[in-house]
Structure 1
Amino acid sequence: MTDSQVISDVMDPARASALCAVLGLPGPVAPGDALPPFFHQVHFWDPQPPGALGRDGHPKVGGLIPDTGLPRRMWAGGRLAFAAPLRAGVPAEKHSRFEDVTRKSGRSGALAFVTLRHEIRQEGQLCLTEWQDLVYRPEPDPSDPRPDPPRAPETAQDRRAVQFSPTLLFRYSALTFNGHRIHYDETYARLVEGYEGLVVHGPLLAQLMMLMAEDLLGPLAGFSFRGASPLMHHETAELCRDGRRFWVRAGDGRLCMTAAAEAD
């Protein structure tokens, strides 16, 4: 295991332009343009050959991420501190470090939370610090009762309806080089990992909330988010806002993700 990693990227404007297209945002992005928050997710790929992948399509653990002995991975949440805008077409370096692993017992059994810290610099300047929290869980047991998901708040200052097609999830997976099969292989998602459909990416939900926050509050200084329950591709959801608090509400009223924004 190594506890650190450095990846360089030219921050190709074409990738940012493609993400704009996927999200229905104006484009294209030109060299030198400031990137919207969280767009670095389409950069800093770390491609691995097929033999280095696990059954779920992610790279096998044991490198930057320790092997916790638990097979099912999800993005639990994260926190970002924005120091300066990242700019398209300007070479950048992403320094990643393993920070911590914490074991807990949850409603579905044993859990392991892994925290990674990423720092991204352009032209020697620290632009972004990100703490990424991953959760690893045991295999699903069909005989176990499903826990009741948390309920979302009923009131909000602002609401925006969102929908997610399999095509959208596939294109987002491709742009972020995310091979996790729960986002594009419905048979795998249902039969192996026990979901009720394709799972909407946690970072995609966070991305949409960040864009909403920037639209309503102005440039962001920080943003944090935490998953509460998975959202399936066939569900309609709402992005909700109350002050600087944000959340994702599924059509049945359950809470899928919470977030908090810090404006400049």
Structure 2
Amino acid sequence: MQQDIQTDMIDPVRACAMQAALGQKPSISADTVLPPFFHQLYFWTTEPPQGLGRDGHPKRGGLIPDMGLPRRMWAGGRLSFHTPLVAGERAERRSVCESTARKTGRSGPLGFVTLRHEISQRGRLCLTEWQDLVYREDPTGPAPTPPKARTDETETQQVAFDTTLLFRYSALTFNGHRIHYDLDYARDVEGYAGLVVHGPLLAQLLMLFAEAQMGPLARFSFRASSPLMHFETATLCRNGSDLWVRGPDGRLCMQAEAHPRSE
């Protein structure tokens, strides 16, 4: 099994920049515990222009096999938080491609890839992450009708997006996917109504929302259901361990499940 190993300094300045982008007061310094999912700011995959595909992502091959399909989406993921990552020290990420599969859905052929990342610091495993990617054909007709979101939430938080936030998140995570900043590409090539809010950005907001309500997390899983556009306001919802993102028209954009360490 092919393995990719990267090391990176968990720079507190980068983490503070993320806090600022999310509208929080920057507070992270050396030896500060990193908020959940902030490891997305590190372990960049850096490729020169000739190593990128049409969508701005690195070309497939190597750790992520070429599924023969042009459109890529981060469909969901699972995380187990073992011990906190701290800022100001180096960390190591070991990544493997755990599984691949091809299926046929309502919109045509689909390719599924699951990556497993293990991040360690100070010789201890800090977190394990499974990242689910889906690949599909270019759109040829109307998108499937998205499911409706639940309305039995007990806590909510309104969240709004704009092109500046999407740009800053792309820059901080070194995500070159053009659906997040190139409106002509997002609309004319991939068939979206606007710029697409990053799936991991929605997951990040849900994790921070869950932690504020439940305390430090032990496990978190999420799955995207329909894309959210940059001009839309969404609602973060929670009922017990269930969380979800509801679009302004009531559609389900993402669902998640969180479990605190206290359980």
Q: TM-score, normalised by structure 2?
A: 0.98
The letter of the residue matching 2:57 is H
Aligned match for 2:217, one of 217, 220, 224 = 220
Match of 1:236 in 2: 233
Match of 2:87 in 1: 88
C-alpha root-mean-square deviation of aligned residues, in Å?
0.9
Match of 2:100 in 1: 101
Match of 2:36 in 1: 37
Q: CA deviation at 1:140?
A: 1.0
The letter of the residue matching 2:53 is G
Match of 1:197 in 2: 194
Match of 2:185 in 1: 188
Percent of aligned pairs sharing the same letter: 63
Give CA-to-partner distance per residue, 1:199-234, whole Å, 9 cap, x none: 000000000000010000001000000000000001
The alignment partner of 1:257 has SS state of strand
Off by >2 Å, runs of 4+ in structure 1? none
Match of 2:143 in 1: 146
* Separation in 1, partners of 2:84, 2:230: 31
Segment drifting more, 144-153 vs 113-122: 144-153
Aligned match for 1:247, one of 244, 250, 254 = 244
* Separation in 2, partners of 1:181, 1:160: 28
The alignment partner of 2:164 has SS state of helix
Unaligned runs of 5+ in 2: none
Match of 1:177 in 2: 174
Match of 2:67 in 1: 68
* Separation in 1, partners of 2:101, 2:174: 27
Give CA-to-partner distance per residue, 1:209-261, whole Å, 9 cap, x none: 00010000001000000000000001111000010100000000000000000
Q: May I ask how many residue pairs the two structures share in their alignment?
A: 261
The letter of the residue matching 2:196 is V
* Separation in 2, partners of 1:251, 1:28: 32
Q: CA deviation at 1:81?
A: 0.2
Unaligned runs of 5+ in 1: none
Q: CA deviation at 1:3?
A: 2.3
* Separation in 2, partners of 1:203, 1:236: 17
Query: Is 2:146 the partner of 1:158?
Result: no
